[in-house]
Amino acid sequence: MDTYRPPLRDVRFVLEHVTPLADLTGLEDFAHADPDLVAGLLEEAGRFAAEAIAPTNREGDAEGARLVEGGVRTPESFQRVYEQYVAAGWGAVQHPAEHGGGAFPLLVANVVKEFITSANMAFSLGPLLTTGAVYLLQHHGSEEQLQTYVPKLVSGEWAGTMNLTEPQAGSDVGAVTTRAVPQDDGTYRITGQKIYITFGEHDLTDNIVHLVLARLPDAPPGTKGISLFIVPKVLVEQDGSLGERNDVEAVSLEHKLGIHASPTCVMAFGERGEGAVGELVGEPHEGMRQMFTMMNDARLGVGLQGVAIAERAYQQALAYAQERRQGRAPGAEPGVQSPIVEHADVRRMLLTQKASIEAMRALCYANAHALDLAHHADDPVTREQQQKLADLLTPLSKAWSTDLGVELTSLALQVHGGMGYVEETGVAQHLRDARIAPIYEGTNGIQALDLVGRKLPYDGGAFVKGYLADLRDQAEQLPEALAGSIGGPLTEALDALEGCTDWLFEHREEPNDVFAGATPYLRAFATVVGGSLLAKGAAAAHRALDAGETDGFGADFLQAKVTIARFYARQLLPSVHGLVGAITAGQEDLYAVGPEQLAP
């Protein structure tokens, strides 16, 4: 059974008890986002995702995106559903009202993104990039650029992309060679080629607004010489109408492991003449800083992809485990085949998926909650501290959630046994689709380097140590009934994490010692944060049960929250201790074996 049911109760619980929406609705900017309005919005978003978008997932995968004369053709079902998406205004939820947006918190918008991504990850990628383009232009575009491009992007009538990667410049963006030559009329002529451009060409919108990194003729080398340009697919006239086609086109599509319905394009700029017409965004040589605005927004969005695809695969695995009968579970009547959900190892796999998904969701929502406060809190000190928290959580959200997205989707396939390995059941598609997310928006190794190289040194290390101290206080203040089963393992994991953090600080003069342990450190850090967030939810559930106030959730639901947090604390948190050796091993063994010795 490959259907999708939006996890509305799980989401509502997080928004009420873990990353409180109430913290945001008390702010002037979000006063309109009252709980009843948000609940209705999310219920409708879930319905749209489940009923309109989810059925397109498998057929879109089978049909794929195709390069045809004149452009790229997306699956027919995408064209139909995208029109409905635009008509309903789903892409406008988080954007300012002055540009036609709903002005809801990012926390709320990210719930909508999760639902849509669970329904069809390939479909969701186009809107994700358009949202990022809006965000970038709001921060760095001129007033004229805002008025020309942003309202159409907010409405979804036009789409946005980011164009960074070139064949010789993958993660090393400073190596880009695309050129931008200034013209007498104030525009620029862009020439060059970009690769791996998601939704770089498609038939869903009348125009595509490409945000392109390129070099001016006098640009210094490296990232300090990169500028950012708007290069529309179709030139926009002074009155806002569409004019001539610009000299930009998709010359090929990548043949990928998954997300077949999402066109991943090789884009050519200026191959037919003097160059594609572009507009400079902001000042020259500021392109990398500007693009990071879009990339950081996208990194949290990609983290949500890990949550969303794992949720979709988990739902399918749970349904299969309840239907599939094989073997006789202990205690079952002789001669009767039991549903496989009755077997202990299947329960272990399902609970591992469920607990991990809830921890990932809470982390990504906490990240969005911090960003909302960073941008909208009244107190400047609060804004500064919440921005640091958001900066710290972003690599955790992106890397941990997408790594787990792959692992948990693989577990969902394992629950299906042999049936999971054939395309007929549909779960294999989820695993294929999930695999790109750890690569997107800076590979997860880069996220780990960002964590240890840029985020740990905040305030000389005081910020991170203060955050870990806050997590310890929370663990020590859990209700007595949870102190041993949840608080104890969480405190022990925090001990290990703090010890590793101290080790990294002590060895910061040897960068490769720190970098060698960066990836396992990120894993340990995120695992602890996930456990802390689940513990917070368990404490709220326990208090509600103790008071006999289930608040519409139901006693069984709340009891499950306690059990899931306990399972995570007892069976998943201990993995942190196994990472300590890798975090603190240093570089010696990594560099003691040369490439020639690694060869067979």
Write out the catalytic residue numbers.
441
Distance (Å, rounded) from C-alpha 348 to C-alpha 130?
39
What is the distance in angstroms between the CA of the first residue and the CA of the last residue of the chain? 44
Which tokens in the block code for residue 485?
């089963």
Distance (Å, rounded) from C-alpha 203 to C-alpha 141?
26
Contact partners, residue 174, CB within 8 Å, separation at least 6: 221, 222, 223, 225, 226, 288
Three-state secondary structure call for residue 405 = helix
Within 10 A of 593 (CB to CB), how many other CB atoms are there?
9
Cβ contact 248:276 at 8 Å: yes
The DSSP code for 325 is B
CA torsion through residues 397, 21, 125, 172, sign: negative
The DSSP code for 568 is I
Cβ contact 279:229 at 8 Å: yes
Contact partners, residue 239, CB within 8 Å, separation at least 6: none
Within 10 A of 432 (CB to CB), how many other CB atoms are there?
16
Burial per residue of 556-565, b for 16 or more beta-carbon CB atoms within 10 angstroms, e otherwise: eebebbbbbb
Residue 223's Cβ-count burial label (10 Å; 0-12, 13-18, 19+) is: middle
Say if strands 179-182 and 66-68 run parallel, antiparallel, or are unpaired.
unpaired
Largest CA distance in the chain: 87
Cβ contact 212:291 at 8 Å: no
Distance (Å, rounded) from C-alpha 364 to C-alpha 307?
9
Distance (Å, rounded) from C-alpha 240 to C-alpha 325?
61
Q: Specify the amino acid at residue 562.
A: V
Q: Rounded to 5, what percent of the chain is helix, strand, coil?
A: 60, 10, 25
Q: Specify the amino acid at residue 48.
A: F
Taking the mean position of all CA atoms in its chain, how far away is CA 353?
Answer: 18
The DSSP code for 499 is H
Within 10 A of 259 (CB to CB), how many other CB atoms are there?
27
Distance (Å, rounded) from C-alpha 352 to C-alpha 313?
13
CA dihedral defined by 432, 434, 439, 444, rounded to 10 degrees? -140
Contact partners, residue 364, CB within 8 Å, separation at least 6: 110, 114, 300, 303, 304, 307, 397, 401
Distance (Å, rounded) from C-alpha 337 to C-alpha 590?
50
